[in-house]
Homo-oligomer: A and B are copies of this chain.
Amino acid sequence: MHYQLYYWPMIQGRGEYVRLALEDAGAEYTDVARGKGGTGAMMKIMDAHKGTPPFAPPFLKAGLLVIGQTANILLYLGARHGLAPKAEGGKLWVHELQLTIADLVLEIHDTHHPLGPSLYYEDQKAPAKKRTEEFWKSRVPKYLGYFEDLVRANGGGFVTGRRLTYADLSLFQIVEGLRYAFPKRMAAFEKKVPRLIALRDRVAERPNIKTYLASERRIPFNEEGIFRRYKALDL
């Protein structure tokens, strides 16, 4: 099946977790909004008053299905491309991990947008500083410590054991993003999560991921996405 991915064309954002899965799987897909007229086509699907209009990008067209919500898309792709176990228990476990990653992503977004997604960062610099402080003091250790413990407990190199799942691809993106947005803080923190860093390296070495990261399909990090580098927040 040839998929159509719909996501904002200028950022990695939440679409990147889907892109990484599609790329690692070697799936055929079109990143629609990066092509001519694609953003308009995307808005049209969201504004549709029939079918299953998604609340927001990313969403994936897979044949007749229109699937929204990042973790939901990965649930669908995981079953089809060997990126998650087939048995119910394992499938639910990987999805649970992905939903915890989604919560973390929202908290990362809140570091620069504590007063909400509708205002500019420039209008919330002081609260952003406080929220970021709190984020690194208690939330990063809690989240990344949780994943570090899982990798250690199962001893397999990936978060659920010996086999890579889409949750590992997303954890790769979390490490990359934190390195981009908070280079100083992350450099100081990494020694606390050595297994997660090793997992990140293992993902980066996968042939399809390596090719993808070196391609133009990988949009560079920037200050419109989830992970933003603001000097004032990386002290």
Measuring CB to CB, which residues of chain A are less than 8 angstroms from any residue of chain B? 49-50, 52-56, 64-65, 67-69, 71-72, 75-76, 88-89, 92-93, 95-96, 99-100, 102-103, 106-107, 110, 114-119, 124, 127, 130-131, 134-135, 137-139, 143, 146, 149-150, 153
Q: Which residues of B contact A99 (CB under 8 A)?
A: 69, 71-72, 99, 102
Assess whether B118 is in contact with A134, with CB atoms less than 8 Å apart. Answer: yes
Given contacts A72-B92, A99-B69, contact A49 B131 (CB under 8 A): no
Assess whether A137 is in contact with B118, with CB atoms less than 8 Å apart. Answer: yes
Assess whether B96 is in contact with A68, with CB atoms less than 8 Å apart. Answer: yes
Assess whether B138 is in contact with A118, with CB atoms less than 8 Å apart. Answer: yes
Assess whether A115 is in contact with B100, with CB atoms less than 8 Å apart. Answer: no
- Across the A-B interface, give the 5 residue pairs with the lowest CB-CB distance, nearest first: A116-B134, A69-B99, A55-B100, A118-B138, A114-B114
Assess whether B139 is in contact with A116, with CB atoms less than 8 Å apart. Answer: yes
A67 to chain B, nearest CB (A): 5
- Bound-state CA distance A131–B115 (Å) is 4
Q: List 5 A-B contacts (CB under 8 A).
A: A54-B96, A55-B103, A68-B100, A99-B102, A119-B134
A121 to chain B, nearest CB (A): 14
A91 to chain B, nearest CB (A): 10
Known A55-B100, A69-B99; 10 more pairs at CB < 8 Å: A50-B153, A52-B93, A55-B146, A68-B100, A72-B96, A72-B99, A110-B116, A114-B114, A114-B127, A116-B138
A63 to chain B, nearest CB (A): 10
Assess whether A115 is in contact with B127, with CB atoms less than 8 Å apart. Answer: yes
Given contacts A50-B153, A110-B110, contact A96 B115 (CB under 8 A): no
A116 to chain B, nearest CB (A): 4
Assess whether A135 is in contact with B153, with CB atoms less than 8 Å apart. Answer: no
Closest to A101 in B: B55
| A76, A96, A106, A149 interface centre (most CB from chain B within 10 Å) | A96
Q: Which residues of B contact A114 (CB under 8 A)?
A: 110, 114-116, 127, 131
- Bound-state CA distance A110–B137 (Å) is 18
| A72, A95, A138, A139 interface centre (most CB from chain B within 10 Å) | A72
- Bound-state CA distance A53–B160 (Å) is 11
